[in-house]
Amino acid sequence: MLAIGTELRVLLCEAEKLRVFGPEAPLSAVAGDDLVLPCFIQPNTSAVDMTVEWLKLEGGASLVHLYKDHEDRYEKQAQTYIGRTSLFKDELQKGNTSLKLSSLRVSDEGEYKCLIEHKSWYDDITVNVVVEGQGSHPVITMESYDKSGGINLVCESRGWNPEPDVLWLDRKGDTLPAEETQIHRETGGFSVKRRITVYDYSDSNRFYCRLLQKHHMIEGEVIINSKVFDVWKSNADAWKWNAGILISACLIALGLIVTAVIRYKREMQQGKKRQCTEFLKKKKYAVDVTLDPDTAHPYLTLSPDRKQVSEVGGQENLDDTPQRFSQNGYVVGNHGFSSGRFYFEVQ
């Protein structure tokens, strides 16, 4: 019993001295390359009989690699890492539990945990990985003509990680002023876009779009013939000429419209004046004419004021006067005129 207790205390004391070590600074690598994530037991102690577990700490830990019971275990390995991870088996005896991650992807970027466990002892470290991904070759397009006489160019590229610096350069390599770079985060990395307005520099109309990262630099080139600027100038002159014609036509049309409106208002005023004059004339010769009910045909009836007549069915109890029309639907007024001017209205 004494021997067993002494041995146990020795093992515990040795375990308390063990520590797991790794890099404190982030590891930088390029997409497509292989990367070793360092992890060591110190003082040097064999990890052959231990459990070594590598985890990716992102949105909940996912299993990257597991070594247990003297063999690699792939049953619960995350699908994105299948066939891309391995330990240095010959180095386990020395306490080297580093992980080799092959064919790096931009999505591999993030924090990893190296966890080593043996009986009642365990320790872990965190390794931060930065994956630099080179994007597509820049595409330069002529977007439009600028009102100032230049041409608007735009440079675009996708699939970068992290986002690159985007520079516009002239033929001598000098940086040209341009708009702010537009950056968008996408599933496959960052997309970038930057615009510039260039002008006719005669024999030096050569421009470059350069994208820079820590380990990458790619460049696109565009050459603009001076005739392209001449086309813009001729189009601008033609536009000015057409604009002048258009403005003149608009002014003429506007003048015609104004003239028509003035003439219409004048005619309306004259019409109202004529109507007013006619009304005054009529009022001057107006007479109060009433209708004679004794002459109205039986099918006609008069209003109480005897100024309106309407057709109805045959009426009974009418006085049979000799003046009453019986053949035609007539009625005679109470007044008669033989000469002069007279105005009256009958309904």
Cα–Cα distance, 55 to 57 (Å, whole number) = 6
The sign one gets for the Cα dihedral 308, 314, 315, 321 is positive
List the structure tokens of 145.
């003509």
Residues 215, 25: Cα–Cα separation, whole Å: 18
Residues whose CB is less than 8 angstroms from the CB of residue 228 and which lie 6 or more positions away in sequence, other chains included: 142, 151
Q: Give pLDDT tens digits for 29-65.
A: 999 999 999 999 999 999 999 999 999 998 788 999 9
Domain-terminating residue out of 188, 208, 224: 224
Domain count across the chain? 4
Same domain, 220 and 234: no
Amino acid symbol at 143: E
- Residues 96, 40: one domain? yes
Q: What's the pTM?
A: 0.54
Q: With respect to residue 65, please indicate whether it lies within any of the assigned structural domains.
A: yes
Answer yes or no: are the C-beta atoms of 35 and 23 closer than 8 Å.
Answer: no
Is residue 8 assigned to a domain? no
The answer to whether residue 10 is domain-embedded is: no
Closest C-alpha among 267, 152, 170 to residue 219: 170
On whether both 173 and 204 belong to a single domain, the answer is yes
Taking a C-beta distance cutoff of 8 angstroms, is the pair 222, 140 a contact? yes
What pLDDT shows up at residue 74?
96
Q: Are residues 29 and 115 in the same domain?
A: yes
Max distance between CA atoms of the chain, in angstroms, equals 163
Domain co-membership, 212 together with 168: yes
For residues 285 and 280, what is the distance between their CA atoms, to the nearest angstrom? 9
Indicate whether 6 belongs to any domain: no
Q: Do 296 and 249 sit in the same domain of this protein?
A: no
Q: Is residue 278 part of a domain?
A: yes
Can you give the pLDDT at residue 35? 97
User: pLDDT (tens digit, 9 = 90+) per residue, 181-230?
Assistant: 999 998 778 999 999 998 876 566 889 999 998 888 999 999 887 666 56
Q: What sign for the dihedral angle of Cα 243, 247, 250, 256?
A: negative
The three-class DSSP label of residue 247 is: helix
**pLDDT per residue as tens digits for the range 220-269:** 999 887 666 565 555 555 555 555 566 766 777 777 788 788 888 888 88
User: Is the pLDDT score of 76 beyond 60?
Assistant: yes
Looking at the structure, tell me whether residues 180 and 145 fall in a common domain: yes
Q: What pLDDT sits at residue 229?
A: 58
Q: At 161, is the secondary structure helix, strand, or coil?
A: strand
Range of the domain at 326: 285-347
* Lowest-pLDDT range of 17-26, 137-146, 264-273, 283-292: 283-292
* Cα(164)–Cα(167) distance, integer angstroms: 10
CA distance 317 to 49: 137
In a domain, 205, yes or no: yes
Check whether residue 99 and residue 180 sit in a common domain.
Answer: no
| Domain assignment present for 86 | yes
Please state, for a pLDDT cut of 70, what percent of the chain lies above it.
Answer: 82
* Tens-place pLDDT, residues 265-298: 888 888 777 777 777 766 677 777 788 777 778 7
Q: Please write down the HEC assignment for all residues of 291-344.
A: ECHHHCCCCEEECCCCCCEEECCCCCCCCCCCCCCCCCCCCCECCCCCCCCCEC
At 163, list the tokens: 């986002």
| Residue 7 domain flag | no
Non-local (6+) Cβ contacts of 222 within 8 A are: 140, 142, 153, 206, 207, 208, 209
**For position 36, which CATH number holds?**
2.60.40.10
Do 28 and 120 lie in one domain? The reply is: yes
